[in-house]
Chains A and B, each alone.
Chain A
């Protein structure tokens, strides 16, 4: 469950995995894309981040996966203030986070197997240690028969599932997904959502930024709603059909 942490300064509790304290962010000298955002997420939770285009959803995720730093406030992740973290320590923390990027960022010259194994190679594991795990994971996301395929030859849903496999292969503590169902049909969106639910059931904290209000409403999961860079109460939803 999320809770507003405007007044919650100080140390994180043991079950807390992420805390934003009065965080603002801007790109260069531009206007704030996030303003005074405070939130606290418990370990093992599942949240959606919603809001109109330009509301700051992707920027919020960028702060969590350490691709950007806030212009004000602090971000605490895994109990550490990553705002103050030295650049040399960031890779170690990034390896604890899995990300499904909005544009997937699959490497077209690498096979599905190589793309999936990439975080494990970066972490320095030997191929003999993870070959079986990668094959098993690809089978789990339904790509057991496409392991040698290059991304350009995969269908949209297959690419999404490949990106998810790469994001979770090193068993991250937090899984972030930016519009993971944006380019797939309704059935595939549900299949992908079920993968996230399964991962969450296994203990991974999941945060999904999405426009898919239908999926959000059906899930019944807590929502962080952004408007013009600020966290707002979720507006009343129409009936789900």
Chain B
């Protein structure tokens, strides 16, 4: 039987067959891993933003508890404290809160039947600090003492520490999960490379025995799995991006929940996924292929 073949129009065919029956399963597994990695990245970014927001709010504020001394009324002491604090460098605003606010804080412990006007309930002064150069608790305390006021300054430093610690835990947990997933993807690719080499031992053997360098053979598998991982990474990133966008849209301006406020810009984090997946796959395939070829 003759066939129509024009050598002048011939172009070299790929050494490895274009498609493998196992490719769809591999693409699915890597895409799922990339999807999870992207979700982790989005979660980490949103958690970091939430912690940053809370910390920012607390850093910009302080609360002063003022107790009346001598014959001075609590309201007058609070007003005097607000006036003293307003003049301190690093304070933007100092405002004595209404007595009802102080009562509202104490009422749960004393019950509705108690007449709080008969009790020396301390008053609260809300202080807004200059975010660029905020006054310290010591400075505020000094200013209050100079006016002979009996007051306690709470600059929220205990909460800030806790929130910063929590944000750090979220950040490092996200990084650890991301690294674990990347490691899982690399292991999957290494396993697939081994299977691919075993299935294509004929190609490897012929290339090896006809004088191909180990690196030449390894590069075939490297390119093949990098391409598969890039496609899988794009699919996983697209799915995670869509989910992130959906969550952002569902929650309006605050995101799906104030605890994890996803921003539109966060969705850019999924863009490097195909490149990272391809790099991880290429390295895993190269190392695996070279080790196996050297064993031939």
Chain A contacts to B: CB under 8 angstroms: 65, 67, 87-88, 91-92, 94-95, 99, 101, 105, 107-111, 113-114, 117-119, 121-123, 127, 131-132, 134-135, 145-149, 153, 166
A145 and B213: CB pair below 8 A? Answer: no
A180 to B29, CA, bound (A): 45
- A131 to B294, Cβ gap below 8 A? no
- Contact with A118, one of B11, B205, B206, B214 (Cβ below 8 angstroms): B206
B203 and A146 contacting across the interface, CB-CB below 8 Å: no
A129 to B206, CA, bound (A): 22
CB distance from A187 to the nearest CB of B (A): 20
Our count of residue pairs bridging A and B at CB distance below 8 angstroms stands at 76
Task: Indicate the size class of the contact surface on chain B.
Answer: 20 to 34
**Residue on B nearest A93 in the bound complex, by CB:** B211
Bound: A131/B12 CA distance, A? 10
CA distance A153 to B3 in the complex (A): 11
Q: Which residues of B contact A (CB under 8 A)?
A: 1-5, 7-8, 10-13, 15, 17, 202-203, 205-207, 209-214, 216, 294
Known: A87-B294, A114-B13, A121-B12. A135 touches B211 (CB 8 A): no
Taking CB as reference atom, which chain A residue is nearest B203?
A: A107
Query: Would A113 and B211 be within 8 Å (CB), given that A107-B203, A107-B206, A121-B12 are in contact?
Result: no
A99 touching B209, Cβ below 8 Å:
yes
Judge whether A94 and B209 touch: CB under 8 Å. Answer: yes
Say whether B12 contacts A117, CB under 8 Å.
Answer: yes
Is B2 touching A91 in the complex (CB atoms < 8 A)? no
Complex Cα–Cα for A92 and B4 (A): 35
Kindly report which residue of chain B lies nearest to residue A119, judged by CB atoms.
Answer: B210
> Which of B1, B13, B205, B294 has the most A CB atoms < 10 Å from its CB?
B13
4 closest cross-chain pairs (CB), A and B:
A148-B5, A95-B211, A135-B7, A94-B211
Q: Are B213 and A147 in contact (CB under 8 A)?
A: no
Report if A127-B10 is in contact (Cβ < 8 Å); known contacts: A113-B5, A147-B5.
yes
Measured between beta carbons, the chain A residues less than 8 angstroms from B11 are 127
Partner of B3 from the list A101, A107, A121, A145 (CB cut-off 8 Å) is: A145
Q: B186 → chain A, closest Cβ, in Å?
A: 26
Chain A neighbourhood of B4, CB < 8 A: 148
Most A CB contacts (10 A, CB to CB) among B202, B205, B211, B214 go to B211
A229 to B243: give the CA distance in the assembly, Å. Answer: 68
Task: State the CA gap A221–B281 with chains docked (Å).
Answer: 53
How far in angstroms is the closest Cβ of chain B from A28? 13
Please name all residues of chain B whose beta carbon is closer than 8 Å to the beta carbon of A65 when the two chains form the complex: 209
Q: How far is the CB of A148 from chain B (nearest CB, A)?
A: 3
B212 and A122 contacting across the interface, CB-CB below 8 Å: yes
CA distance A100 to B10 in the complex (A): 24
User: Which residues from A are CB-within-8-Å of B202?
Assistant: 105, 107-108
Contact A147 B3, beta carbon cutoff 8 Å: yes
| Residue contact B5 to A109, C-beta cutoff 8 Å | no
Q: In whole Å, how far is B97's beta carbon from the nearest beta carbon of chain A?
A: 80
Whose C-beta in chain B lies nearest to the C-beta of A109? B17
Contact of B211 among A91, A105, A132, A148 (CB under 8 A): A91
- Whether B2 pairs with A131 at a CB distance below 8 angstroms is no
**Contact at A134–B211, with CB atoms within 8 Å?**
no
CA distance A181 to B88 in the complex (A): 103
A and B contact pairs by CB, cutoff 8 A, 14 listed: A67-B209, A87-B214, A87-B294, A101-B209, A109-B17, A111-B13, A113-B7, A113-B10, A118-B210, A131-B7, A145-B2, A146-B3, A147-B3, A149-B3
